[in-house]
Amino acid sequence: MDSFSQLIKSMFDGIAGRYDFMNRFLTGGLDIYWRKVFVKETLAAFIKLSYAKTNNSGFNIADIASGTGDIAIEIYNRLKTDKIVRSFFTDKPIHICCSDFSMPMLKIAREKVRKLSGGRGDNNIKFSFVICDAHNSCFKDSSFDIVFIAFGLRNFSNIKKFISTELKRIVNKTLSLSSILEFNNIFKIKSFKFFQIYYNYFITACASIFSTDTGAYKYLVDSIKNLPRDRDILKLFTDEGFKIFNYRKIFPYLVSRYIAIINNS
């Protein structure tokens, strides 16, 4: 692992215990809404793309940079409660793989997943937890039908390399979907002055009160400032042969959702 990733890993190791609380607090709960929309629209896109095809062997879904597992849990909840999603995936074995390089974050994810369905588990939906660096994972080629990455990309030391080597390698070459949720670099948009002030002052002020690691939240703001513009992120995918199925900003335009596909079916 390179030194930047090493630094990021120890930062997330350190804030794992307060990660969920800080997310809810700093976004006023909006992060829950963003993940819901993200998962809902991604599964809907997958169903739309593969409706006519049958896949008897089931589906493999990855939640890369899974953190405390909120995306994996949202996928589970949607598989259970959304009629259309349920009828598409019915009776097919589904494997949801949560992967992250921070063991403390992933431990919390595993605890949260254990409590799903009152701890009874589910016959069709299985979870696994894999500790690894996204740049150099242990997954086999063509392992996943859908890859979710929420708020992970900006932490990768080399986004371009991740897409061109790892992501491209681990997704199904016949039909797969890679869905990314990431902050929008509002520091490059003049009309977002209010949110620039919010990020620059409020987040770090709150972190100094509620978190033991103010540096981690200063990093959060810096990592947003360093993000490429949306169109440049889209280009990273298209340069590698992915097609953009759909892209949009989610209210209040602080985050963007990208769905890139490989479709050779």
Ligand X SMILES: C[S@@+](CC[C@H](N)C(=O)[O-])C[C@H]1O[C@@H](n2cnc3c(N)ncnc32)[C@H](O)[C@@H]1O
Torsions phi, psi of 146, nearest 5?
Answer: -135, 135
Sheet with 146-150, side-by-side order of all strands: 125-131, 94-100, 59-64, 146-150, 175-183, 255-263, 243-250
Of 18, 135, 218, 225, which lies in the binding site for ligand X, with binding defined by CB under 6 A?
Answer: 135
**From CA 77, how far away is CA 85, in angstroms rounded?**
10
Contacting range for ligand X; rule: CB under 6 A; set: 78-86, 132-140, 198-206, 245-253: 132-140
Binding of residue 176 to ligand X (CB under 6 A): no
Contacting range for ligand X; rule: CB under 6 A; set: 45-53, 79-87, 151-159, 200-208: 151-159
What are the distances in angstroms from CA 146 to CA 26, 52, 59, 237, 238?
29, 17, 8, 15, 17
* Amino acid identity at 233: I
Contacting range for ligand X; rule: CB under 6 A; set: 97-105, 183-191, 232-240, 243-251: 97-105
Of 150, 221, 227, 255, which lies in the binding site for ligand X, with binding defined by CB under 6 A?
Answer: 150
Which positions ≥6 away from 161 have C-beta within 8 Å?
A: 135
Of 46, 59, 89, 151, which lies in the binding site for ligand X, with binding defined by CB under 6 A?
Answer: 151
* Count of Cβ atoms closer than 10 Å to residue 84 Cβ: 11
Of 70, 145, 166, 182, which lies in the binding site for ligand X, with binding defined by CB under 6 A?
Answer: 70
Judged by CB under 6 A, the number of residues near ligand X is: 20
Torsions phi, psi of 250, nearest 5?
Answer: -110, 140
- Nearest CB to ligand X, comparing residues 50 and 152: 152
Binding of residue 66 to ligand X (CB under 6 A): yes
> What is the three-state SS of 110-124?
HHHHHCHHHHCCCCC
Tokens of 40: 């809902």
Binding mask 2-41 for ligand X (x = CB under 6 A): ---x--x---x-----------------------------
Based on its alpha-carbon atoms, the radius of gyration of the chain, rounded to whole angstroms, reads 18
Contacting range for ligand X; rule: CB under 6 A; set: 74-82, 152-160, 170-178, 235-243: 152-160
Binding of residue 152 to ligand X (CB under 6 A): yes
Taking the complex as a whole, how short is the minimal distance between the CB of residue 155 and ligand X, in angstroms? Answer: 4
Chain residues binding ligand X by CB under 6 A are 5, 8, 12, 65-67, 70-71, 100-102, 105, 133-135, 150-152, 155-156
